[in-house]
Amino acid sequence: MTIQTSKNIESGQGNISAARIHEYNSPLVIEDVQKPIISTPEGVLLKVGAAGLCHSDLHLIYGHWQKALPIKLPSIPGHEVAGWVEDTGISVPTSIKKGDLVAVFGGWGCGYCLYCKRGDEQMCQQAKWPGLSEYDGGFSEYILVPSYRFLVKPGEQPTLMKPEQIAPLTDAGLTPYRAIKKVRHLLGPNKFVAVVGIGGLGFYGTQYARIFGSGANVIAMDRSEAKLKMGTEIAGADFAVNISEPHEIKNKVKKITKGKGIDVILDTVGSENTINIGANSLSKSGTMVLVGLFGKEVKMPLFQTVLNEYQIYGSLWGNYNELCEVIELAKNGIIKHQVQKFSLSEVNEAIDLLVTGNIDGRAVIVP
Amino acid sequence: MTIQTSKNIESGQGNISAARIHEYNSPLVIEDVQKPIISTPEGVLLKVGAAGLCHSDLHLIYGHWQKALPIKLPSIPGHEVAGWVEDTGISVPTSIKKGDLVAVFGGWGCGYCLYCKRGDEQMCQQAKWPGLSEYDGGFSEYILVPSYRFLVKPGEQPTLMKPEQIAPLTDAGLTPYRAIKKVRHLLGPNKFVAVVGIGGLGFYGTQYARIFGSGANVIAMDRSEAKLKMGTEIAGADFAVNISEPHEIKNKVKKITKGKGIDVILDTVGSENTINIGANSLSKSGTMVLVGLFGKEVKMPLFQTVLNEYQIYGSLWGNYNELCEVIELAKNGIIKHQVQKFSLSEVNEAIDLLVTGNIDGRAVIVP
Amino acid sequence: MTIQTSKNIESGQGNISAARIHEYNSPLVIEDVQKPIISTPEGVLLKVGAAGLCHSDLHLIYGHWQKALPIKLPSIPGHEVAGWVEDTGISVPTSIKKGDLVAVFGGWGCGYCLYCKRGDEQMCQQAKWPGLSEYDGGFSEYILVPSYRFLVKPGEQPTLMKPEQIAPLTDAGLTPYRAIKKVRHLLGPNKFVAVVGIGGLGFYGTQYARIFGSGANVIAMDRSEAKLKMGTEIAGADFAVNISEPHEIKNKVKKITKGKGIDVILDTVGSENTINIGANSLSKSGTMVLVGLFGKEVKMPLFQTVLNEYQIYGSLWGNYNELCEVIELAKNGIIKHQVQKFSLSEVNEAIDLLVTGNIDGRAVIVP
Amino acid sequence: MTIQTSKNIESGQGNISAARIHEYNSPLVIEDVQKPIISTPEGVLLKVGAAGLCHSDLHLIYGHWQKALPIKLPSIPGHEVAGWVEDTGISVPTSIKKGDLVAVFGGWGCGYCLYCKRGDEQMCQQAKWPGLSEYDGGFSEYILVPSYRFLVKPGEQPTLMKPEQIAPLTDAGLTPYRAIKKVRHLLGPNKFVAVVGIGGLGFYGTQYARIFGSGANVIAMDRSEAKLKMGTEIAGADFAVNISEPHEIKNKVKKITKGKGIDVILDTVGSENTINIGANSLSKSGTMVLVGLFGKEVKMPLFQTVLNEYQIYGSLWGNYNELCEVIELAKNGIIKHQVQKFSLSEVNEAIDLLVTGNIDGRAVIVP
C-alpha cells in the first residue's frame, strides 16, 4: 500500500538531469531521469546544492564492489550531499521547511537494530546508503531522502555556509572525525599522531588530529609535496614526511619522534604500502586506525603487535551526532575547507582527476 | 641502621635560611635551620630555585587541617618546588646530576600499594607530601627529595625555563590538568566547559579546557573583572561570566549556551557558593569536577542529579606522568605562565596578598 | 490531519477497564474508559499482560511531581508494561504481529535529538513516558504504544516467559542494570560493591552486582532482615548489613572490607539517610550511583570527595539496548524474579503494601 | 660500588642445583651453580617452590628469539615463579620476612619510565624479565629477585595455597587476565566470547571470559577433544568448537551465534591458522585479542576490518596490580587450577610433553 504523503503533491513531477552508472568501468551517463516522489510520511525531497566525489565512488563505478555491495543499474552515485528542501512528507516537523539548506547524513539505517539503537546507523546490517544501494545518490538535480531524521540543519547562520562546503563534511569530513574520536584518549602533550594520505579525508583528518590532539605533535604523510604543503600550511601539521621513498621513512620518523615512534596513525589510504609504513613506524602501545580501502589485507608483525601492545582499529564513516559535531566545528570556523567545484556535466572529468591524484582537497559536483 | 649514602659527603653541612610554621594562625618565621642530609641511596638534595604559594598552604598555616593532616611543628611549607641538583645519593642514575634544573613531583608515595602501582602516587594512603608531612617543603634554600623517582627533568632546553615558571606547574599547573583529563571524553565541538575561579589553578585550567576541549566553548567564571580579563585575553576563554551577582548568572549561562546549560564545570574554588552556581548551571548529562577545598560540603539537588544523570568527580593533584605532560606543554610553549615573584623574606606579604585575592596567577617564593 | 492507520479498523472500538488518578493523593479510580485507537502508522495496540508498580508511581499519585512532571488528570499510571500485540499500524513490520508477547520500553523519545540519536531515548528532553505524561500507562486492559520501535520481543521461546516476569524488567530490572553498567569498569576481584535497598530495584541490582562484578564482593544493605535474606539467599550477595542502626554500620563495613571501605555503592533509595551512610562507607576512589529519589539533596563531605577522588553518578532508567540485554539475561535464566501479583481491582491495596514496605520484590498488576 | 646489603650475610653461600640453557636447541643441562647473593638493599632471595613451564620458554630454548631477546648463555629459564623468602635486603620492609610464601611478578621494569610510572612495568623498554634476560629464572633451587616491589604475598591464608598453584598464576594466569580486562567493556548478556587454545593460558582465559563476561556466552576452541572437554567441564565454557577441521568452523560458529559471529576472540595460540579462523568468525564490531606468539604475522581482510569496525589488540603479560587481582580470584576459590608437576631433573621431559601438546593445563617444575 502506497499513500500520498508529500505536502506539495506536484513536487515530484517532471524530469531532471542526473549522472548514472549504466555499466561498470564506463563513464557516467548524464541524462534525464524522472524527478523522485516522496513516498513516506517522513520523506524529504531536496534540490541538490553539491555532492562530493569520493574514492568510494571510484570503487563503485569501477565495479570493485559488485559482490560486496551489489546494486541495480542504472544508478545515480553520490553519497556526500547538501541541498535545499524542496518538499516534505506529512509527518516532517515544521522545523524542516522548504528552502532550508541541509546536510544529508548518509548512513540510512533501519532505526530498530542494535546499531541504530545505539546511534551508529551507518553500521546497520540493513543500511541503505544513497548512491551505494537501491537509493539514488546526489549526482543529480534532486535527491529523495527517506526521513527527515537523516538531515542536519547547520543552524542559525546558513548564509555563512555554501552547499559545496557542507557536502564534503558528510563523508570526507565525517570519516576521519569518527576515526580520530576513537583514539583521542591516546593523544596528549608528548604524543605523535600521523595522518597518512592528505587527500579529501586526510586534509580534514590532519585538522582533527590537531584539534583533538590535546597538544600532540601532528605529522602529515603523503607522496606528493603539494599535498604535504597543504597538510602543514593549511591543515596545521607540525611535520611532513614524504613517503614516496620508503627506505628513508624510518629514519625521518625516528628523528621527529626522538626514537620512540608514532603513537597514533590514521591511514586514509589503506594500501599494502601505507599499512606497512605504519606498522614500521608505530611506537610501543601504538595504534593504527584504518579508514582507507585501497588494499586487500591488513598485515602486522605478530611479535611486535603482542610485545608492544599495538592496537588496530577499523573505522566506518560516522554517525549522525558525529556529523552534527563536524558541522559545528565548521560553523565556528575551526576547520577549513579545500574544494574544487565541477558542474554535473564535468563529472567524468572530475573522476579522471581524482584517479590520477590531481584533486587538492575534495572534488564537488554542483548540479 | 643509617648508611652514608650521598656522593658528596659534605653537601649536607652548615645552616640555611627557611620559613617555618611555629604555631598555627601566625606569620611564618624566617630563620636559620640545618641543611638537610641525604639519608637514602636514592635521595637527592636540591638548591631551591622557586616554590609556589598555594591556597593549601593557607589552610595548613591557619590550622584548618590540624586533624586531617597532622604535622609536627616547626615545619617548612611549600609543596610546589623547582630547583637545581646539589648532591645525589649513591643509587641515583647519572642522568640526574649536579646542576640539573628539575621539577619536584610532590606526591611522595610508598611505591608499593595499589595506588602507587597504578601510577597514582599522590593517592597513596601513606603518601608523604613535602611541606604537608614530616618532610620539609620548599620555602627554604634547600630541600631534600627522598628519591630521584620524584624528579622531572624538563629536558634538552632547560635554559628556556626558569624555576619560577616550573615550580607552579607541579601543583597549580598539575591539579587542573588531571581534572580536565578526567572529563576530556565529555568535551567536543558543541559542548560548553566552564572554569570557576581564575586564580593560580583556574588560569591553567582555562588553558587546558581549550587545549583538551576539542572545539568546546570555554567559559571563565570569577568575581573579579581583572581575573576574567586574564581568563579571556591570556588563557583563551571564549566567554566570561562574573559570578559576584548570583541572580544574573542563570540568565547569562542560558544565553551563552543557548538554553542547554554547561556540560562540564571545573570548580577550583569549592565554596558552598560556587558549587551551588555549578549545580544550577549544569546541562543534562552535566559533569562537575571539584579540586577547590574552600567549603565543607558538596550539595546537589537529587531529582536533577538522577534525571539529568549528573556526574560529580573529586580530583586530587596529579600523578608523575601527568606532571611530565604538563611540563611538555610548557616546553612547547602551548601553555602560558602568570607568576608574581617574592623573596623568602617577603613570604608573609605574599600570604596576605593571596588571602585578599590580590595575586594574579601564582605567587612564587624565590629563595 | 489524522489518518486511519491501523491494520484492523475495529481494534479500537468499545470500552475497557482501567485504574486512573483523578486527583492527587487519593486512591486510584477503577472505571471504564474508551479503548485506545492506533493513530500513527508505526503505532501498536497491546492487550496488557502485566504492569509493575513502582515507587515512581507513588511519587506521581501523591502529587510530589506535580511541578517537575505535570500531567493532565484523569490519567492512567503504569510505566512497566508487558502484553500481547492486539493490532498494528500500517508501517509496522510483519515481525511484530497479533498475539506476540512483548515488553514495552518506556522511554518514548523524539527520535531526533542528541540523546535519542545516541540511543538514550529515556534522556530525551521531550520524552513522553507512558503513565507519566500525556500517554496513558499500563494499569488498564489495553495500552497504545506510539511506535513498534519501543517494543522488545523476548524472542524464540516466549512460552518460557510470563508477562508478570517481563513487565518488571522494563524498569525495576532496567534501572539498576544501567546503573551497574556505568561502574562495571570499577569492579573486580578485590573490590566491594554494595546495593542499598533490596526492594524492587535492589533485588535485581544485587544480581547485577554479582554478574558484572568480575569477582567483586557484593554487600546487601537494608533495614529489613527479610529483604537482606532475599538479597543474600536469592540474589546472591556475599554479605548483608542491616542499616537500621546507623552507629553500627561503619564498623560492620570496616570489618567486611578489611578497613578499606566500599568501592561502589548503588543506592536504590536515595534518602538523606542512605546517601549519608554511603558517604561514610566509601573507600578511596569510591563511587556512588544514585537511582532512588526519596530525598531532596545529595550531600557529600568536600574534603574527602576531593582527597579520595570520590565519584557520584546519577543514573536514569535505561535505554532500549540495555532493556534487550536485561531480557537476554532473563531468557538465559541468569537473573531471578520475585513478584507479587495483584488484579486491577486490587491496585490500591498493592499501593498500600508498597508504601508500608510490605512487598517482597516487585508488585505487578495483572489486569 | 657494590655494598653488602642482605640481612643474613651467609644466605648466598654454597652451590645449588639448576637447569640451564648452554646452547640453543639442546636439552637443558641440570647442574650445580653458585647460590645467588643479594646485591641491592631492596633485593630478596627466594627458595623456589615452583616454576611454570611456558611456550615462551620453548621459543627461548629453541633460539627463536636470539635476535629479539638476546641473552648470554648459560642461562636459567623460568619466569613463572613462586617460593619462600630465604633472605632480604636491608631496605626490605618487615612485612616481607623469611619463610613467607610469595609470588614473583616477572615484569621487572626500571621504575622510572612512562610505562613503569603508569603501572605497566612489563612494558618497560628496559625491562629485565627473570629467565629471559641477564637475570636467572626459576628452574633452580633459589632465585634472586632485585626488589621486594616485585613480590606479591597471597595473604592471610597462605596455607591454602601451594607454590605449584601460585606459580602459574604469574604468567599463564596473568596474561589472559590482562587480555580479557582489555575487552570486558565489550562483553555482556547477548555477546559471544571465544578462547582459542585451551592450554596453559586458555584454561585460565576461559574462566576469565565467564567471570568478566557479564552474562556473555563463552566458546572454547581447540583441536583436542580432551582440551575442549577441560574448557567446558572444568573452566565453564558454554560451547566447544573443534578447530581441527577448518571447513566446518564457519557453520558451527554461525549456528552457535545465530548468524552474527563472535564478538570477542582471545587467541592464546597466535598461529597463522588460528588468526585466520578468528578473522572469519568475528561479528560486526568484533574484537580479537592476541597473546599467543606461534605465527609471524597478523593478517586480516581490509574491507571487513573497516566496514565492520574490527579491533585487533596485542596484549603483553600483565602488570603488578593485575597479578594481585588474579591471586585474589584464586584465594577466593573463583578460579580453578590444572597443573602437572615435574621435578627439576624431569624438566626436559616436561618440555617434550609441552611441545607435543600433551600437557593438560600447566606444567610446573618443583625443584
Query: Looking at CA atoms only, how far is residue A1 from chain B in angstroms?
Result: 42
With CA atoms as reference, the chain C residue closest to D331 would be C189
Confidence tier at D88 by pLDDT (50, 70, 90): very high
Query: Looking at CA atoms only, how far is residue A166 from chain D in angstroms?
Result: 24
Give the rounded percent of residues in chain A with a pLDDT score beyond 70: 96
Cβ atoms A262, A192 nearer than 8 A: yes
Using the Cβ of C216 and the Cβ atoms of chain D, whether some distance falls under 8 Å is answered with no
Using the Cβ of D316 and the Cβ atoms of chain A, whether some distance falls under 8 Å is answered with yes
With CA atoms as reference, the chain D residue closest to B324 would be D114
| Per-residue model confidence (pLDDT) at position C1 | 37
Name the nearest CA neighbour of C191 among C200, C182, C183, C179. Answer: C183
Using the Cβ of A324 and the Cβ atoms of chain D, whether some distance falls under 8 Å is answered with no
| Per-residue model confidence (pLDDT) at position C182 | 98
Give the 3-state secondary structure of chain C. Answer: CCCCCECCCCCCCCEEEEEEECCCCCCCEEEEEECCCCCCCCCEEEEEEEEEECHHHHHHHCCCCCCCCCCCCCECCCCEEEEEEEEEECCCCCCCCCCCEEEECCCECCCCCHHHHCCCHHHCCCCECCCCCCCCCCCECEEEECCHHHEECCCCCHHHCCHHHHHHHCCCCCHHHHHHHHHHHHCCCCCEEEEECCCHHHHHHHHHHHHCCCCCEEEEEECCHHHHHHHHHHCCCCEEEECCCHHHHHHHHHHHCCCCCEEEEEECCCCHHHHHHHHHHEEEEEEEEECCCCCCEEEEEHHHHHHCCCEEEECCCCCHHHHHHHHHHHHCCCCCCCEEEEEHHHHHHHHHHHHCCCCCCEEEEEC
User: What long-range pairs does D154-158 form, CB within 8 A, spacing at least 24?
Assistant: D154/D101, D154/D102, D154/D103, D154/D327, D154/D330, D154/D331, D155/D327, D155/D331, D157/D331, D158/D100, D158/D101
Q: Which three cell numbers stand for residue B291?
A: 579540586
**pLDDT value at A362 more than 60:** yes
pLDDT in tens, A314-333: 999 999 999 999 999 999 99
**pLDDT value at C149 more than 70:** yes
Q: Which three cell numbers stand for residue D283?
A: 561479528
Using the Cβ of C111 and the Cβ atoms of chain A, whether some distance falls under 8 Å is answered with yes
| Per-residue model confidence (pLDDT) at position C243 | 97
pLDDT in tens, D31-87: 999 999 998 889 999 999 999 999 999 999 999 988 888 899 999 999 999 999 999
Please name the chains neighbouring D, where neighbouring means 3+ C-beta pairs under 8 angstroms.
A, B, C
Nearest to B311 among C275, C292, C313 (CB): C313
Nearest to D111 among B41, B149, B324 (CB): B149
Question: D118's torsion region: left (phi>0), alpha (psi -120 to 50) or beta?
Answer: alpha
**pLDDT value at D367 more than 80:** yes
Contacts of A319 in chain C (CB under 8 A): 117
Residue from A208, A212, A321 whose CB has the most chain B CBs within 10 Å, to mutate: A212
| Per-residue model confidence (pLDDT) at position A1 | 37
- Interchain CB distance below 8 Å, C118 and A3: no
Using the Cβ of B299 and the Cβ atoms of chain C, whether some distance falls under 8 Å is answered with yes
Contacts of B275 in chain C (CB under 8 A): 302
Confidence tier at A157 by pLDDT (50, 70, 90): low
**pLDDT value at C347 more than 70:** yes
- Interchain CB distance below 8 Å, A111 and C149: yes
With CA atoms as reference, the chain D residue closest to B325 would be D114
Using the Cβ of A308 and the Cβ atoms of chain D, whether some distance falls under 8 Å is answered with yes
Query: Looking at CA atoms only, how far is residue B235 from chain A in angstroms?
Result: 15
Mean pLDDT (whole number) for A11-32: 92
Give the 3-state secondary structure of D80-99. Answer: EEEEEEEEEECCCCCCCCCC
Nearest to C118 among A1, A114, A119 (CB): A119
**pLDDT value at A169 more than 90:** yes
DSSP 8-state class, residue D147: -
In total, the C-beta contacts within 8 angstroms joining chain C to chain D are 43
Query: Looking at CA atoms only, how far is residue B88 from chain D in angstroms?
Result: 15
**pLDDT value at A3 more than 70:** no
**pLDDT value at A64 more than 80:** yes
User: Mind listing the pLDDT tens digit of every residue in chain B (367 residues)?
Assistant: 345 577 776 676 789 999 999 999 999 999 999 999 998 889 999 999 999 999 999 999 999 988 888 899 999 999 999 999 999 999 899 999 999 999 999 999 999 999 999 999 999 999 899 999 999 999 999 999 999 999 999 976 655 679 999 999 999 999 999 999 999 999 999 999 999 999 999 999 999 999 999 999 999 999 999 999 999 999 999 999 999 988 899 999 999 999 999 999 999 999 999 999 999 999 999 999 999 999 999 999 999 999 999 999 999 999 999 999 999 999 999 999 999 999 999 999 999 999 998 998 899 999 9
In total, the C-beta contacts within 8 angstroms joining chain A to chain C are 31
Contacts of D322 in chain B (CB under 8 A): none
Nearest to A211 among B215, B324, B329 (CB): B215
| Residue bearing the bigger pLDDT, D247 or D273 | D273
Phi, psi of D304 (to 5 degrees): -65, -35
| Per-residue model confidence (pLDDT) at position D13 | 77
Mean pLDDT (whole number) for A71-89: 96
With CA atoms as reference, the chain B residue closest to A333 would be B215
pLDDT in tens, A128-137: 999 999 999 9
| Per-residue model confidence (pLDDT) at position B2 | 44
Confidence tier at C12 by pLDDT (50, 70, 90): low
Contacts of A184 in chain B (CB under 8 A): 184-185, 214
Residues 52-91 of C with CB under 8 A from B: 68
Mean pLDDT (whole number) for A241-260: 95
| Per-residue model confidence (pLDDT) at position C158 | 57
Show Cβ contacts of residue C84 under 8 Å, excluding neighbours closer than 6 positions: C46, C47, C49, C99, C100, C101, C102, C163
Ranges assigned E (strand) in chain B: 15-20, 29-34, 44-53, 80-88, 101-104, 142-145, 151-152, 192-196, 217-222, 239-242, 262-267, 282-290, 297-301, 311-314, 339-343, 362-366
**pLDDT value at C105 more than 60:** yes
- Interchain CB distance below 8 Å, A305 and D285: no
Give the rounded percent of residues in chain A with a pLDDT score beyond 90: 88
| Per-residue model confidence (pLDDT) at position C11 | 73
With CA atoms as reference, the chain C residue closest to D321 would be C190
Q: Which three cell numbers stand for residue B146?
A: 627522598
**pLDDT value at D344 more than 90:** yes
Q: What is the mean pLDDT of chain A?
A: 94
With CA atoms as reference, the chain A residue closest to D304 would be A314
pTM of the model: 0.96
| Residue bearing the bigger pLDDT, C55 or D287 | D287
Nearest to B324 among A184, A185, A190 (CB): A190
- Interchain CB distance below 8 Å, B302 and C296: yes
Residues 142-161 of A with CB under 8 A from C: 148-149
pLDDT in tens, C163-193: 999 999 999 999 999 999 999 999 999 999 9
Handedness of CA C15, C21, C26, C28 (dihedral sign): positive
Contacts of B296 in chain C (CB under 8 A): 301-303
Q: Which three cell numbers stand for residue B115?
A: 595506588
- Interchain CB distance below 8 Å, C123 and B302: no
Please name the chains neighbouring B, where neighbouring means 3+ C-beta pairs under 8 angstroms.
A, C, D
- Interchain CB distance below 8 Å, A314 and D309: yes
- Interchain CB distance below 8 Å, C301 and B300: no
- Interchain CB distance below 8 Å, C301 and B297: yes
CA distances from D8 to C326, D1, D88 (A): 60, 20, 8
Confidence tier at D11 by pLDDT (50, 70, 90): confident
Contacts of A323 in chain B (CB under 8 A): none
ipTM reported for the complex, 2 dp: 0.95
Element (H, E) at D29: strand D29-34
CA distances from C361 to C48, C106, C198, C201, C364 (A): 20, 20, 8, 8, 10
